[in-house]
Amino acid sequence: MVNKCARTASLAGNNMLVAVRMRPLSRKEIQGGEKSCCQVVGNKIVAITKAKRPGAVLKSEMGSVNEYQFDEAFDEKVPQIEVYKRTAARLIPSVLEGFNVTVFAYGATGAGKTHTMMGSERMDAERATGAEGGQTCGIIPLTLIDIFKGMKQKQAEADLPDEKWSLSVSYLEVYNEKIRDLLEPSGINLPVQEDPKAGIVGVGGLAKRTAANSDQVMELLRYGNTNRRTHATDANATSSRSHAVLQIIMSQSWSNSKGKNITRESRVNLIDLAGSERAGKTNNRGKRLQEGANINRSLLALANCINALAQGTTRKNAKYRDSKLTHLLKSSLEGQCKLIIIANINPSDQMFEDSHNTLKYANRAKCMKIDPKVVRLQERDLAWPEREKNLQRQREAKQS
Ligand code: ADP
Ligand code: MG
């Protein structure tokens, strides 16, 4: 039986998309006797089977099968470019129209989140040979290439007075319930700025860099990644212990009939979440256990917000302030934003519990209600100028 929520088509109005991607078993996993317990049926359904013992192959050793239906389901053979085309690429026209878009990769450590969002190491070599958008580039570089292409076209067609298109990026991580700037690391825990009228307006003191093409952004990302908190756990040699958030801010500005400058901004958040596995599994102790607790706190708060929004009763029930991650994503989850969730699963029978939890999480998320709006800003709303200045002072004091 396929598990469905009340609303089966979550792409209603193109506002939200929930996809599941299953990675292949690695050579090491196959050599170790691990078997696949997941199957993608067609391009929307994922079936997961609980075996009566690990490594079971006989039909008689197989227990219950659960099937879940999503907007998109990708099996292990689906290449990066197709994952992109069937997910984030569909929202590029919205970004150019002024909508905010958030894409996040969810799943246990080693399930393929970073591969899906960034791509694998071969990506750099491919880009160097001009093979952009090949098999190994993930959603982040492919999205950037298309946004820059779209902006160039818009600029060429510009017909408003003084119309200008530009792009800047910020890159941050949420680590141990603290927001850290990855482009200008300072050790300062940056505040989420919330305005009573405008909602979440950003992160105070976060560095913003303008970029003229996707290569420049990738360069910034590579630099930012060297500042990320990764640490080996039993589950993955370079397990990400933080949630990494790339914010792309695309601006279109022009002069109105009174000569006043008008700016329309759209924000794209591309998020590589930390692993969703349970702490017990990783044998973590001390500091690692504390990190795990904080990762789980953020992901639990995210799940709780998704549950509250899925029930559709009231947005007030969603407790965004329970974690830094949900506070930061408040405007995305509340509906000022179009949302794509890509749940990643490792099909190994040894990962049954984690994969099943991920599928249940994604199944729940399908029911969220999203109602985005285009936000037009009369010049930049510079609420919080004092706090900005204070942060700048702190930053300078630390550096001197
Ligand atoms: P996560 O970020 O979820 O911890 P990774 O993206 O680092 O996981 O993936 C773990 C390993 O699996 C990496 O070696 C990665 O290259 C490989 N991998 C993940 N997804 C795929 C895929 N779809 N195809 C091939 N290899 C993959
Ligand atoms: Mg990762």
What's the pLDDT tens digit per position in 148-193?
999 999 999 988 889 999 999 999 999 888 899 999 999 889 999 8
Beta-ladder partners of 164 = 253
Query: pLDDT tens across 202-224, in order?
Result: 899 999 999 999 999 999 999 99
Give residue 121's pLDDT. Answer: 61
**CB contact at 8 A, 295 and 107:** no
Listed ranges 19-33, 122-136, 182-196, 250-264; the one with the highest mean pLDDT: 19-33
Binding site membership of 109 for ligand 1 (Cβ less than 6 Å): yes
Instruction: Evaluate the CA torsion angle 288, 187, 139, 127 in order and state its sign.
Output: negative
Cβ contacts of 256 within 8 Å, gap of 6 or more = 262
Give residue 371's pLDDT. Answer: 61
Alpha carbon nearest to ligand 1 atom 18, residue: 112
Hey, is 203 helix, strand or coil?
strand
Binding site membership of 214 for ligand 1 (Cβ less than 6 Å): no
**Of the candidate ranges 72-76, 100-104, 316-320, the one whose mean pLDDT is the lowest:** 316-320
> How many Å apart are CA 62 and CA 224, to the nearest integer?
45
Distance of CA 149 from the midpoint of ligand 1 (Å): 28
Strand 337-345 and strand 100-106: pairing?
parallel
Q: Tell me the C-alpha to C-alpha distance, in Å, between residue 301 and each of 174, 307, 324, 342.
A: 14, 10, 9, 18
Binding site membership of 23 for ligand 1 (Cβ less than 6 Å): yes
**CB contact at 8 A, 346 and 353:** no
Distance of CA 108 from the midpoint of ligand 2 (Å): 9
pTM: 0.84
Task: State the closest ligand 1 atom to the C-alpha of 239, by its place in the atom list counted from 1.
Answer: 4
Q: At residue 98, does pLDDT exceed 70?
A: yes
End-to-end C-alpha distance for the chain, whole angstroms: 63
Q: At residue 292, does pLDDT exceed 60?
A: no
**Of the candidate ranges 86-95, 110-119, 137-146, 259-268, the one whose mean pLDDT is the lowest:** 259-268
Q: At residue 240, does pLDDT exceed 70?
A: no
How is residue 105 written in tokens? 């990769």
Q: What is the DSSP letter of 338?
A: E
Distance of CA 229 from the midpoint of ligand 2 (Å): 11
Annotated binding site for ATP: 107-114
Listed ranges 65-79, 133-147, 364-378; the one with the highest mean pLDDT: 65-79
Binding site membership of 120 for ligand 1 (Cβ less than 6 Å): yes
Mean pLDDT of 97-117: 92
Binding site membership of 330 for ligand 1 (Cβ less than 6 Å): no
Mean pLDDT of 379-387: 39
Instruction: Pick the more confident residue, 246 or 94.
Output: 246
Distance of CA 238 from the midpoint of ligand 2 (Å): 8
Across all residues in the chain, what is the average pLDDT? 80
Mean pLDDT of 285-303: 65
